[in-house]
Structure 1
């Protein structure tokens, strides 16, 4: 599909805009805009038009995707641009998503009644613009923990996509295929949407609430229902301890049998398993969030920054500040976000 600025589209043509944040995931963007092209082919006429926009673009320009591909983009749309929807595509690290001009653009489009959405990390920019209050939404699971820390009044849903009135969000990857199937079906009917999905061999269209990640049994390589119940609780509690007795009750066994289950299936105690989960949570925050090391220690349930630093060094062989420095060096986070405190 030719991507262009929405200049007076013909009657019956819906223009879907995409704000491309530098470093956006090309796969997610393609999974969102290619179904529009296929819908035009299936309809035998233009019924959708895609328009790509980018922050900092003052005329015809380009925005670099995560793989370095340059996508043609126009300046951010002004009010009255005639958009049916405007979706923000963001990938990489939240530290690189500080675009006040995008926030202002989104608020202006909201005043025009345009449906707004986010793909992969795009919901983060909607949150920063204050446009997700009282709305259900989702984003890529990798960014969920950092978003909750940055916007404690918001709670993302871990779903493949969410449509809540005038807000449209999805988790990235191939989830935009599911989202666009729903949006095309909403307008053109389920039979037409099925034809478009079949075009991409998208035979198994996922439900909105389908998980973004593989199930517990698949991720952990275990099938014991009691152990899976305990692991689910540990994964859901990255910010503090879970009493051993409470965990045993969830698993439907006694504390000693719980220890045996963990040892036999995972080669670690429940406490060791939970500590590793909390440290993995902290590592994501080190790479993705502007929180200080002391704040990350608290968010991961450690008594102090020094306690966190000792545990981090024991698990990974380096201090938290070294992990943050590595993220800085790789470009995962920007220099302005690398706050540290003693104990790191």
Structure 2
């Protein structure tokens, strides 16, 4: 998807200049969370009348995986095939514990060592937690047994928010929460006016023009 060059941005903060998003889809990921994230980028390109964003669908081995609704998103690539993104966002869903194996952790640890920002939507934050990549970070997560996570990951600072951006970590709850996260990033990079236009396209009232 969207493989052409993107319009450059000259902002000081790395999170304000994110242009190439890598979405690491794990088995049984949430389609609604993933789609809400991608659609904001697509619409920002449309209302912004330029190729501000592009995105790559990733899996550890490059083989498409099915979402929890049984639909697979194609084309899928490995991280090496897609090229270095500006941020890697883990897309989780049901059965996240079984979906996060050593290959996923190794990939995330390697990305972290390269200094790339990391994120997780829906239960995707669990993958970062299990690799120790959310220690001493604020985060939110879509998880029914939140008390279990508190015990399992005592160094993670959980907050009850739709999304959280803490330095080079981005996390959001599931459902439509990734839409709010991405609107925030669009507003930082392209301005609140563009974010408001994107919001209006989806009949949302949460983003207002300055």
Which TM class, normalised by the smaller chain length? Answer: 0.7 to 0.9
Gaps of 5+ in 2: 10-18
1:65, distance to aligned residue in structure 2 (A): 0.7
* 1:255-299 deviation line (CA, Å, top 9, x unaligned): xxxxxxxxxxxxxxxxxxxxxxxxxxxxxxxxxxxxxxxxxxxxx
Of Structure 1 and Structure 2, the greater helix share is in 1
Other structure's SS at 1:162 match: strand
Q: Decide whether the 8 Å contact of 2:29 with 2:93 is kept in 1.
A: yes
Other structure's SS at 2:74 match: strand
> Which residue of 2 is the match for residue 33 of structure 1?
38
**1:26–1:3: structure 2 CA closer, same or farther, 3 Å change rule?**
farther
Which protein has the larger Cα radius of gyration, Structure 1 or Structure 2?
1
Q: Decide whether the 8 Å contact of 1:79 with 1:109 is kept in 2.
A: no
> Which residue of 2 is the match for residue 204 of structure 1?
206
> Which residue of 1 is the match for residue 5 of structure 2?
9
Equivalent position to 1:194, from 180, 193, 196: 196
Q: Decide whether the 8 Å contact of 1:115 with 1:167 is kept in 2.
A: yes
Q: Decide whether the 8 Å contact of 1:17 with 1:85 is kept in 2.
A: yes
Q: Decide whether the 8 Å contact of 2:24 with 2:59 is kept in 1.
A: yes
* Residues in 2 aligned to 1:10 and 1:48: alpha-carbon distance in whole angstroms: 6
> Which residue of 2 is the match for residue 151 of structure 1?
153
* Residues in 2 aligned to 1:35 and 1:153: alpha-carbon distance in whole angstroms: 32
> Which residue of 1 is the match for residue 29 of structure 2?
24
More relative contact order, 1 or 2 (CA 8 Å, 6+ apart) = 2
* Residues in 2 aligned to 1:82 and 1:160: alpha-carbon distance in whole angstroms: 28
**1:143–1:133: structure 2 CA closer, same or farther, 3 Å change rule?**
same
Equivalent position to 1:97, from 91, 96, 99: 99
Q: Does structure 1 residue 46 correspond to structure 2 residue 42?
A: no
TM-score for both structures, normalised by structure 1:
0.54
* Residues in 1 aligned to 2:166 and 2:81: alpha-carbon distance in whole angstroms: 22
Equivalent position to 1:116, from 114, 118, 139: 118
Q: How many residues align?
A: 199
* Residues in 2 aligned to 1:162 and 1:88: alpha-carbon distance in whole angstroms: 14
* Residues in 1 aligned to 2:182 and 2:65: alpha-carbon distance in whole angstroms: 23
1:192, distance to aligned residue in structure 2 (A): 1.1
**1:107–1:100: structure 2 CA closer, same or farther, 3 Å change rule?**
same
1:15, distance to aligned residue in structure 2 (A): 0.7
**Counterparts of residues 54-73 of structure 1 (less than 5 Å):** 54-57=59-62, 61-73=63-75
1:185, distance to aligned residue in structure 2 (A): 0.6
Q: CA RMSD in A?
A: 2.3
* Residues in 1 aligned to 2:117 and 2:20: alpha-carbon distance in whole angstroms: 11
* Residues in 2 aligned to 1:135 and 1:186: alpha-carbon distance in whole angstroms: 21
> Which residue of 2 is the match for residue 132 of structure 1?
134
> Which residue of 2 is the match for residue 107 of structure 1?
109
1:3, distance to aligned residue in structure 2 (A): 5.5
* 1:161-188 deviation line (CA, Å, top 9, x unaligned): 0000100000011111110110001111
Q: Decide whether the 8 Å contact of 1:89 with 1:122 is kept in 2.
A: yes
> Which residue of 1 is the match for residue 15 of structure 2?
none
**1:193–1:70: structure 2 CA closer, same or farther, 3 Å change rule?**
same
